[in-house]
């Protein structure tokens, strides 16, 4: 179970304190939890706070009752948190197999490494010895990112917009991956997404806007109000209305 208590995150931008996240509290114990909301609302920042890449300026984070706020990225990873980045990182010389091996945490057979790749729709023999460098397309790198997270098999996994850039591979396959991960490791999977099809599988939906938690609850309760209530740009809203009317 993941619990955030009064978590805030501020950055000092040009000597002005800017609050990126304001007093966020929630618990996550469900199977699939979607975090959604407009761009710039603080979703990715929240994911980074949970993974330990940044630390909150206020508030505490608990994993299964244990305070992890002051833990490093590595300690959190070892305590069972995985994080699939929105933008996969490229390396020089490090192969896909190396990365899957790091993710699993011990030496694995090529066959085992291949099993993770095939789950994300990649033909293992084409990829296993390839470097995860700039020669891979965005979609390929993204699927490998998902395979790494899957290989870790931790009780808490965070995916930051996993569907972005994935072309031919269907949403259905991505959802199958989540289901399989849950079956294997239990725990919770947090998915940051704008996609309705992803939101539809969520047991709980969290809506963030302007750094604040604006709604949280079951998808049946949260989703209908999502578009209506979304705070947006008034000029843009007017333009869209005009477009619709015209």
Partner 1 sequence: MDKITKELLEQVADLHEIPVGAYNIRKDGELYGRNVSANIDIVTKKDKPGIDIIIKDNTVKESVHIPVIISQSGLKEAVYNDFYIGENCDVTIIAGCGIHNGGKEGSEHSGIHAFDVGKNSKVKYVEKHYGQGEGTGERIMNPTTKILLREGSYMEMDTVQIEGIDSTKRDTSAKVMDNAKLVIKEKIMTHDKQYAETNFSVDLEGENSSADLVSRSVAKNESYQVFNSEINGNGVCHGHSECDAIIMDNACVKALPALTANNVDASLIHEAAIGKIAGEQLIKLMTLGLSEEEAEKEIVAGFLK
Where on the chain is the footprint of partner 1 (CB under 8 A)? 51, 53, 72-74, 77-78, 81-83, 85, 89, 91-95, 98-99, 102-103, 105, 131, 148, 152
Instruction: Report in angstroms the alpha-carbon separations of 171 from 79, 97, 198.
Output: 29, 25, 8
Other C-beta atoms lying within 10 Å of the C-beta of residue 185: 18
Residue with smaller CB distance to partner 1, 99 or 122: 99
Q: Is 38 helix (H, G, I), strand (E, B) or coil?
A: coil
Residue with smaller CB distance to partner 1, 87 or 195: 87
Other C-beta atoms lying within 10 Å of the C-beta of residue 71: 18
H helices present in 79-190, as ranges: 96-104, 110-119, 124-127, 138-152, 171-185
Residue 32: strand pairing partners: 189
Residue with smaller CB distance to partner 1, 74 or 234: 74
**Shortest Å, Cβ 40 to partner 1:** 20
**Shortest Å, Cβ 90 to partner 1:** 8
- Residue among 72, 77, 58 nearest 4 (CA): 58
**Shortest Å, Cβ 76 to partner 1:** 8
Residue with smaller CB distance to partner 1, 48 or 204: 48
**Shortest Å, Cβ 161 to partner 1:** 16
């Amino acid at each position: 179970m993941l619990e955030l208590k009064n978590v805030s995150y501020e950055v000092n931008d040009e000597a002005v304190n800017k609050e990126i996240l304001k007093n966020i509290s929630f618990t996550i114990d469900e199977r699939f939890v979607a975090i959604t909301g407009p761009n710039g609302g603080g979703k990715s920042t929240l994911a980074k706070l949970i993974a330990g890449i940044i630390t909150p300026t206020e508030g505490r984070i608990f994993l299964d009752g244990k305070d992890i706020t002051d833990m490093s990225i590595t300690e959190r990873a070892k305590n069972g948190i995985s994080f699939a980045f929105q933008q996969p990182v490229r390396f020089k010389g490090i192969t896909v197999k190396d990365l899957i091996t790091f993710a699993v945490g011990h030496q694995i057979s090529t066959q085992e490494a291949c099993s993770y790749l095939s789950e994300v729709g990649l033909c293992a023999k084409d990829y296993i010895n390839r470097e995860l460098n700039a020669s891979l397309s965005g979609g390929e790198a993204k699927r490998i990112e998902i395979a790494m997270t899957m290989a870790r098999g931790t009780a808490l996994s965070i995916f930051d917009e996993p569907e972005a850039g994935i072309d031919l591979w269907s949403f259905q396959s991505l959802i199958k991956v989540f289901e399989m991960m849950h079956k294997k490791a239990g725990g919770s999977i947090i998915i940051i997404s704008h996609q309705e099809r992803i939101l539809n599988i969520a047991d709980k939906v969290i809506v963030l806007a302007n750094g604040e938690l604006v709604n949280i609850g079951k998808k049946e309760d949260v989703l209908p109000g999502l578009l209506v209530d979304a705070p947006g740009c008034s000029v843009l809203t007017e333009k869209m209305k005009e477009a619709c009317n015209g």
